Structure 1
Amino acid sequence: MRIFTPLLRGGLALTLCLVLSGIAASATAVAEDTLVILTWEDYMAPEVIEAFEAKYKVKVRQVYYEDDDERDLIMANTGGAGFDLLVFDELMREPYHAKGWLETFRKSDLPNLRYVRYPLKKQDLPQELQTVPYAWGSIGIIYRKDLAPRPPTSWMDLFRPVEALKGKILVINTATTAFSMALKSLGYSVNSVDEDELSAAAELLRKQRPYVRAYRNPLAGEGADLFSGEVWMAMAYNGDALNLMQRNANIDFVYPMEGSGLWLDSIAVLTKSNNKNLALQLINFIHDPEINARNTQSIFFATANIGAEQRLPKSFLNNPVIYPSAKSLARFEQLERLPASTMRRVIADFVTITSQ
């Protein structure tokens, strides 16, 4: 779904330098009873972390990345040094494993993995693996009901917005995510590699540029732009949208009529971890069905743990933002890893567009 981009822009360059300098300074100083996780913000319930810390008498420290491109840059520059665990897009498993960044372990080493399935394919985990499914979801449009001129129903409401939305839009700052949804809005596959279709998506994003306030996750900054009314509409991951909706009654979310893409995030132990056994224990702990059910309700994303699903309230399982209906899913596509040549083209086009 997303891949390393060699080009840094403004705040990302500064953020990366600060993160990397902090990692370099502390990588050899991390205590044996401390686990460091590279992950999304607000993606693991605080009470779950606290319960693990209490049970194993350890400390867990989380380092956050804002988007997949930033994560890829951090990994490319560190090789995972200074981190024990990584929560990331499952589509990056093969390239990350090929670089030697991911530890291989056996399913039988972690008893709670018997509850875990690949949710989109409904398949069991293999006996040897580098990643364990963590959560899955999709992408749609979040908006201010009290400010947007009308409720969005189509991706074109975001990509070809009315004049009133000028400077009031956020787009997720990941090249393939933006391109995939632009492709979907034009009636093409989210995984298209057709040059003409990619050119049409690039042109759509280029014409949208004057209407975009910023390229970032709307959850960044605790949703300040949406809460303040500076942003009226944004591309958003479904669980992040629910997180913000819980805190502001004027925020709503919709899956556009064209459909969307489905993604899977996984958790992995890094080969440069000095605490591999403890890291594996955290994965096993998170997939205890009772623990996982608590975590799932906290992060607002669907779980890959069937034992946890049996413990979730009906109100959660029946929430169409978290678990889209079969009718909606018929219009969704599972996001796939694109060929390297397509990735280079998409990234180059996106950098050019967003730098304007």
Structure 2
Amino acid sequence: MARFFGSTRSPSAGCLLFFFALLWASLFISPPPGQAAPPQKKPQELVFLNWPDYMDQGLIRKFEKLHGVKVRQVYYETEEEQVRLLSLTNGKGYDVVLASMVNGLSYLNRKWLAPVDADSVPNIRHIDPAWRRLAPEFMKHAVPFSWGTMGIVYRKDLVKGEVRGWKDLLAPQEQLRGKILMIKDRRDAMVPALKMLGYSVNSTSMAELDVVERTMLAQKPFVKKYGYPSLDKQSQLVKGDIWMAMVYSGDALTLQELNKNIAFAFPEEGTSLWLDNLVVMASSSKKNLAMDFINFLNEPENAAQLAEHIFQATPNLAAKKLLSPEHLRNTIIWPDEKTMLGSELYGPLPPRVEKRYNSIFLKTSEGLR
């Protein structure tokens, strides 16, 4: 006699009981004859408009598992492309957007942004108040995400001498003809000339802008293209097709990891300071989920992990306390006081000045984009 669960029943009797138990259960589990099983409900989807390579995918998966949702990231390659994508639908179809200050102010004026406050995003309390004071009305609709500066990367094995300022980019050595990459953004691309000439990055003087245009046109034969350096082993900077480029500070660190001959310089004339922000679109039907996502990214541990992953400075003060000493000591990520004093944030421009910036950028980048 075999032993089943401590009993002395025969094997055949046990099997029959097990069979009838399965049959009884199937009456409740299986769909009626001729009727298909109901399809599984698709998880709710959050659409996030973001730069490529600007997020820790481990954090995305953690949020998805925590909330039982799917985060779909839509990528843009330039600030202009982001504006174009959102303008096609007046912001509809997107839930969370990573927006610069300049773009964010424009979206606010178009009434595309939903309000964000401490009730909807409790972790907003960790954000440095200094950043939130920059544009009070905009900051009622945004949560600062990361900040940094712009500078110059160059191949120190190919470029002779030390690169110290924007003049090395705008009036370069003859050997750099066709070897320079400029950022493909009308405001960013004009910073080198504006700062080298001693002007503000927010200049509204038509006379100053005329000089900027002449300076950029004189540089044009040295520019291979207007765009952004790819951040992988196929990057033109890594391979040596480009010898010098203007870049965002965090991108410089990624490129240096790929090639030890890539050096970075903060321009001695000063530079621009940028702040990226997370905003929720007013047209979103998933505002609560969008707020939860922003709140999740601002949990101090998550914000610290993200800052280390993307090589950027975080405006989250609680997260800053959790960063590694190596990250905090890196002066490309955390510039010194002298660099900060020479840096300016972009401000809005009058329409006629905006038009002039656009015309300069189009003329100088024509045929190179």
TM-score by length of 1: 0.86
Q: Which residue of 2 aligns with 1:235?
A: 246
> How far did 1:118 drift?
4.8
- What does 1:50-199 align with in structure 2 at a 5 Å threshold? 50-120=61-131, 129-199=140-210
> How far did 1:334 drift?
2.4
Opposite residue 266 of structure 1, the aligned amino acid is N
* Farther-moved stretch of structure 1 (340-349 vs 289-298): 340-349
2:259 to 227, 245, 248: 248
Aligned residues: 326
Are the aligned partners of 1:86 and 1:267 in contact in 2 as well (CA < 8 Å)? Answer: yes
Q: 1:223 to 1:129 in 2, by over 3 A?
A: farther
Moved over 4 A (4+): 118-128, 220-223
Q: Deviations over 1:185-238 (max 9, x none)?
A: 111111111111111111111111111111011136776111111001000000
Are the aligned partners of 2:233 and 2:258 in contact in 1 as well (CA < 8 Å)? Answer: no
Opposite residue 218 of structure 1, the aligned amino acid is P
Q: 1:202 to 1:123 in 2, by over 3 A?
A: closer
> How far did 1:175 drift?
0.8
Percentage of matched positions with identical amino acids: 37
Instruction: For residue 105 of structure 1, give the secondary structure of its aligned residue in structure 2.
Output: coil
Opposite residue 178 of structure 1, the aligned amino acid is A
Instruction: For residue 108 of structure 1, give the secondary structure of its aligned residue in structure 2.
Output: coil
Report the Cα distance in structure 2 between the residues aligned to 1:59 and 1:302, rounded to whole angstroms. 27
Report the Cα distance in structure 1 between the residues aligned to 2:81 and 2:282, rounded to whole angstroms. 20
Structure number with larger C-alpha Rg: 2
Residue 281 in 1 paired to residue 292 in 2? yes
Instruction: For residue 263 of structure 1, give the secondary structure of its aligned residue in structure 2.
Output: strand
For structure 2, the 5+ residue unaligned runs are: 1-41
Report the Cα distance in structure 1 between the residues aligned to 2:139 and 2:157, rounded to whole angstroms. 51
Q: Deviations over 1:20-58 (max 9, x none)?
A: xxxxxxxxxxx6611111111111111111111121121
Opposite residue 341 of structure 2, the aligned amino acid is A
Q: 1:65 to 1:119 in 2, by over 3 A?
A: farther
1:329 to 340, 356, 362: 340
Instruction: For residue 258 of structure 2, give the secondary structure of its aligned residue in structure 1.
Output: coil
Q: Deviations over 1:87-115 (max 9, x none)?
A: 01022323212212111133222211110
CA RMSD of aligned residues (A): 2.0
Instruction: For residue 282 of structure 1, give the secondary structure of its aligned residue in structure 2.
Output: helix
TM-score by length of 2: 0.84
